[in-house]
Each structure stands twice: as structure tokens, then as C-alpha cells.
Amino acid sequence: MSVTTLSPPRPRNIYPDSDGEPMAENPLQFQWIVTTKEGLEYVYRNQPDVYVAGDMFWYPVEGQPKICQAPDIFVALGRPKAGYRGSYKQWEEGGIAPQVVFEILSPGNRPEKLIEKFQFYEKYGVQEYYLYDPHEVVLTGFLRIADQLTAIPAMDGWVSPLLGVRFDLSGGELTIYGPDGERFLTYQEIADERDRAVQERDRLAQERDRLAQERDQERQRAERLAAQLRALGLEPPP
């Protein structure tokens, strides 16, 4: 009589898409996360091989779901924009690590957590790392030199080597400019510009209608005058 021994099922690695924590702790932090992320999306809107993400888990090592971080914003050059991702699993992305990471700080950030993130980004291949504290208006940047993320001495006027975006602190607050020189806009500013564009479009349409109406009235006057001249036996001028 043979006995079949069932092997226990192999545990599956689970890579959560969320930790249940909010993306931001306050409106100012949230505004800067959205503004930076959407500004970068706009910069790369016509490049299908650049992936920009916000508040997404990044898993660098297959089979090690506890090794992860969720950058506020990251940019992965050389990865397709299209396709849904619940998380960024590096082994499914051609082994490409996000090259640029942004963190937007809040008053609740703990130093030990920031150190942990720095060490993670340094170990797993981030090329440029930027931290911005919108409450204190302090921008810190790191650039990979050899195997280390090295502090950038001065951030005012700094241009990202990989992204081509420029950071300006001269006005007492951070302003980010894309490679085309256009400033990253908040959602409210985008909405205001859209409203102004709609108002201008409506104004131009009304002006076209007014001019068309004036032309029609002038044509009617000319036709009435021509009819009066013919009634008098006169031929109107051509």
C-alpha cells in the first residue's frame, strides 16, 4: 500500500500596494506632492518610456517584500508610461531602479525614518534624491557619485542632470521650472489658466460674431442702396 505525502503549500510572497497610511499629513505637503508629480508628468507627457509615480511602493528585491519604500514621487527613465501598476516591482521593470526620488517633508517626519529612507535610496541605486520642507522652505539635494549619494552644495539654481528641471529659491519659496522654462503650476493655477483660456475663447467668439453681424448689416445696406439706385434708373457702381 502506497502512502502519498502532501507537501505543505509554498508560501507566496505578497507585495502590498498600500500600507493604509495617508499620502500626506497636511494640505501644504499634499499640494507640493501633487504639484511636483504632475509637473514631472507634464515634462514627460510626450515620452512613452518615462514613468512618473507618486506614493507608490517600490520593491527592489524579488522575494523580499519587507524591503520596500514608498517615495512621495519618483521617476523611472526607460520604463513604459502605459500599463497599470499597483506597485513598482523592480524585477518586472527590467531591473531598472527609479533614478530620481522626491520627498516632501512634514513637521511629523522623524529623523530615524529619513535616515532609513536615505540609506535605502543610496543602497538601491537612486541617482538623484531631493527633499523639500515646504514649511521651512528648505531644499536639500543629493547626487550619486560612485556608490554614494553626496550632498549638493547649493540648491538655488540647481539643474537636475537627469530631468533638466531647475530649482529656484530666490523668491523666498521654491519654484520648479521644466526644461522648457515653464514653471510647475499648482492645480489651482492650472484651473485658473484654463478658466482664463475659456474666457478668452468666448471673448474671441463674441468678437467674431460681432464683426460678422456688422459685415452682414453693411451688406444689407449696400443691397438697399443698390435697389434704390436702380429704381431711379441708375446703375450702382460695381
Please report, for the chain, the start and end positions of each structural domain, with discontinuous segments joined by +. 27-184, 186-238
**What strands lie across the sheet with 138-145, from one edge to the other?**
50-54, 73-77, 100-104, 128-133, 138-145, 148-151
User: Taken in order 169, 175, 178, 180, is the CA torsion positive or negative?
Assistant: negative
* Range 148-176 burial, b when 16+ CB lie within 10 A, else e: ebeebeebeebebeebebbbbbeeeebeb
In eight-state DSSP terms, residue 161 is: T
Q: Which residues pair with 101 in a beta bridge?
A: 74, 129
Query: What does the pLDDT look like over 20-30, one tens digit per residue?
Result: 665 567 889 99
For all residues of the chain together, what is the average pLDDT?
A: 86
Cβ pair 103, 131 in contact under 8 A: yes
Q: Could you give the CA distance from residue 45 to residue 41 in angstroms, rounded to a whole number? A: 6
Least Cα distance to 16 among 59, 52, 51 occurs for 59
Task: CATH number for 27-184: choose from 3.40.50.620, 3.90.1570.10, 3.90.1200.10, 3.50.50.60.
Answer: 3.90.1570.10
**DSSP per residue, 99-128:** SEEEEE--TT--HHHHHHHHHHHHHTT-SE
Cβ pair 72, 54 in contact under 8 A: yes
Torsion of CA 111, 19, 69, 58, to 10 degrees: -170
What does pTM read for this prediction? 0.76
Least Cα distance to 113 among 75, 69, 156 occurs for 69
pLDDT in single tens digits along all 238 residues of the chain: 454 545 555 545 688 887 666 556 788 999 999 999 999 999 999 999 999 999 999 999 999 999 999 999 999 999 999 889 999 999 999 999 999 999 999 887 788 999 999 999 999 999 999 999 999 999 999 999 989 999 999 999 999 999 999 999 998 899 999 999 999 998 677 655 665 555 666 666 677 777 778 787 888 887 787 787 778 777 767 7
Cβ pair 78, 100 in contact under 8 A: no
